[in-house]
Chain A
Amino acid sequence: MPSHDQTGPSGPPIDFKALFDSSPNPYVLLLPDFTIVGMNEAYLRVTMRTREDITGRNMFEAFPGEGASVEQLRASLERALRSGTPDHLALIHYDIPRSDGNGFEERFWSATHTPLLNAAGEVAYILQHTVDVTELHRLRMAARATYAPSGLEAQVEGDVFRRAQAVQEANRSLDAERRHLRRLFEQAPGFMAVLGGPEHRFELANATYSQLIGNRDVLGKPVREALPDVAGQGFFELLDNVYASGQPFVGRALRVSLRQGPDAAPEEHYVDLVYQPIIGADGSVTGIFVQGHDITERILAEQALQESERKFRILADAMPQMVWAARPDGYHDYYNARWYEFTGMRAGSTDGAEWNGMFHPDDQERAWKLWRHCLATGEPYQIEYRLRHRSGQYRWTLGRALPIRNEAGEIERWFGTCTDISEIKEVEADLQAANDEIQRFAYIVSHDLRAPLVNIMGFTSELEATRATIERYHKAIVERVPELATPEARVAVEEDLPEALSFIRTSTAKMDRLIGAILKLSREGRRVLTPEPVDMADLLAGCHRSLSQQLDGTGTEFIVEEAPDVVSDRVALEQIFGNLIDNAAKYLDPARPGRIVVRGQDAGVYVRYEIEDNGRGIDPKDYDRIFDLFRRAGAQDRPGEGIGLAHVRSLVRRLGGAISVSSRPGVGSTFTVLLPRTLHTASEAA
């Protein structure tokens, strides 16, 4: 060791080496690599070694200890080295070789390791001050008897107490920390257990762990005994393996069947867990720390979700229609197999807004605008457009979508379908052509039928004029030349001719009205519909006004309840409601005061209107007949040609709706008109 001869503040120079050697306290000085570089006489005495024997040797080579003791000593030295502050070892069991070479002698020590720093503040040496407390320890252990401290022993005792105090202080805080950790351990949301020994005996188990295993008392029991129901599921074997190999095991979503009580049926749980080997002081496995989470609920929810998604996909793929889904922002993130089959596109390649590019260029903007509008308003999406088939052809498609809302009413997703309606469209076009032809036919026929009628009526009038001439002539004959007059001539001129002419007139007048009706229907069928927002309350009030004279005259009540608005053709609506209300007023029962009620209600993309009366009613067998042209039902005591309802039905159909009637004879009738809330003329225009 280096010599440090110095001069004291007064008096003769102090010989530190002599002082060091004469100190009754054993000291040894180590380099940071634990090489012994110096010691005093007391140290040599207590360790029963010579200076030559241990100087320059490594501490652990010079004093080969066993197991935990070596680790304890090394840990203390390293702590001092690392922290740069003294470290205390209150009691260390460190046997030393016997001086006679026959094995080891059991010794207990108390030590302080003090780091000595160089000018740079680095640890240059570690000074170990060690006291052999073997006797003390034995005495305490033996009887805890009192003894009389004196001299050297008293001093040793004093040092030990200081160290013990320091250690005790450390222990107190350690204990607080241990209790805190214990609480954390107990309250941890995950399950935790400590298993000790090769039988995996439960040393600790927290509340969550107990809960998992049905609050069984397992402490102190080996796992195979504590949890017999887990046998055969591979967990014990895993524990054995971890214990044997010292390698941790990490398991995810492991299925375990557990009984919650002795008589309870086994329950399936899913757990994430870690088996962490606990390494003892000697480096061998002394136990296993078990830690994990019960993830049963999550797994079951995932499975349920997967199952419902699997079902949805099977269903969606089995559908003849194309099905898609989009996020609330309109991003399409799902299409079924049928979509990819139809379009020939690669799966996923039409996600987002790519669908729009699959539409016919003339339909893209219209569809995009409507889609954005629906996204903004949450209104159902419905449109017809041409979609590119994998053949490259565009096919007419009906697109529909509805928003799915959460409990808060916010849109969560949109689900949509595309239906190939190209065949329907072709049939529709054929039908339209046929319908147009009928319209033209009706128009031409009614014109051409009128021309002969003009002649019949015209010449009938001429005949009447002629008859008047003949009658005057006949009267002159009767007066002047009575012998020429015959009863036959009189009857012919005064009775037969007027009668025949009258029948011709009545019949042609009727025929003219019928032709007029056909012409009217044919013209209506050709009229272009113009959708516009219609205030229905206003429109119904208008219908009421035009009938007010008739209604007031008979003391009839007219009531409009709810009247939801529509976007449709105003003229057509006026005619529909005008006719229905007019009919209701016309066929009231004179036996009771009339009452006509109009009410509407929302019905999805439709609105349903009812026109209810308390009139004479309609026989159920006539429900269809009343909608036919020129057909009427019931007592024929009111003027009419049987056109009104045929006209109404034709208009309702053109507006994309439907009409029906229910009635009880003698009680009243209700006409129900179903109309699209918004009239789309796109399909009509085709």
Chain B
Amino acid sequence: MAQHQSVTIVMVEDDDGHARLIEKNIRRAGVCNEIRHFTSGTEALDHLFDPKVRDNGPLLVLLDLNLPDMSGVDILTKLKADERLRLAPVVVLTTTDDQREIQRCYDLGANVYITKPVEYETFSQAIRQLGLFLSVIKIPEAS
């Protein structure tokens, strides 16, 4: 699991309940990577653009679109505009299944888009599959 340990998961989610459910399901999938949770866009960006974080180690971002201080789309745009952070895979996790919004996220460079269904089994399954996804992908090292 050494390879996996090296990837840090940054979760941007203002709903603590969602954050808890996501974390539980990721752990259930057997993923033990560090998860750093932020409940606002500002906090998350401050952390991500901190040189100690930005320039060190691979990252994976779990991003909710509905945040109190900004739209997740703004965060996505900023990440993809940065030469280092744009390498980090971004998984968009949100409640909408609006095709236009999904398309927009993919256009901006999102790697995966997951709808949070109210149906919990589907949701947990999606998160567990994400865990599986995390266990197989190779995150490019920022050099």
Measured CB to CB, the residues of A under 8 A from B are: 447-448, 450-455, 457-462, 508-509, 512, 523
**What 10 pairs across the A-B complex have the smallest Cβ distances?**
A455-B17, A461-B120, A458-B21, A450-B95, A512-B118, A457-B120, A453-B118, A457-B118, A458-B120, A454-B116
Considering only residues 36-84 of chain B, those with a C-beta below 8 Å from chain A are 66
Q: Mark B80-123, 1 if CB is under 8 A from A, else 0.
A: 00000000000000011010000000000000000011111101
Q: How far is the CB of A662 from chain B (nearest CB, A)?
A: 38
CA distance A462 to B21 in the complex (A): 9
Q: For the complex, what is the distance from the CA of A175 to the CA of B24, rounded to whole Å?
A: 134
Q: CA separation between A164 and B118, bound complex, in Å?
A: 134
Contact between chains at A458 and B66 (CB < 8 Å): no
Q: What residues of chain B lie closer than 8 Å to A454, measured between beta carbons? A: 15, 17-18, 21, 95, 116-118, 123
B124 CB-CB contact with A under 8 Å: yes
Which B residues touch A459, using CB under 8 A? 17, 21
B15 CB to closest chain A CB (Å) equals 6
Contact size range, B:
10 to 19
- With A and B bound together, what is the CA distance between A452 and B16 in angstroms? 10
Query: B98 contacts A451, CB within 8 Å?
Result: no
Would you call B96 and A455 a contact (CB within 8 A)? no
Shortest C-beta distance, B123 to chain A (Å), equals 7
**Contacting pair A447 B96 (CB below 8 A):** yes
Q: Smallest CB-CB separation from B122: which chain A residue?
A: A457
Residues of A within 8 A of B119 (CB): 457
Cβ contacts A to B, 27 pairs, < 8 Å: A447-B96, A448-B66, A450-B118, A451-B15, A451-B95, A451-B116, A453-B118, A454-B15, A454-B17, A454-B18, A454-B21, A454-B95, A454-B116, A454-B118, A455-B17, A455-B21, A457-B119, A457-B120, A458-B17, A458-B120, A459-B17, A459-B21, A460-B120, A461-B121, A462-B24, A509-B118, A523-B98
Nearest-Cβ distance from residue A440 to partner chain B, whole angstroms: 13
Which residues on the B side are within 8 Å of A447 (C-beta)?
Answer: 66, 95-96
- Chain A residues near B21 (CB, 8 Å)? 454-455, 458-459, 462
Q: Which residues of A contact B15 (CB under 8 A)?
A: 451, 454-455
Docked CA distance A457–B118 (Å): 6
B124 / chain A contacts, CB cutoff of 8 Å: 458, 461
Residues of A with C-beta under 8 A to B98: 523
Cβ–Cβ < 8 Å partners of B117 in chain A: 454
Which residue of chain A has its CB nearest to the CB of B94?
A: A447
Distance between Cα atoms of A37 and B27 in the complex (Å)? 157
Contacts of A452 in B (CB 8 A): 17
Against A, the Cβ 8 Å flags (1 = close, 0 = not) of B5-28 are 000000000010110010010000
Which partner residue on chain B sits nearest A505 by CB separation? B120
A458 and B123 in contact (CB under 8 A), knowing A447-B66, A448-B66, A508-B118?
yes
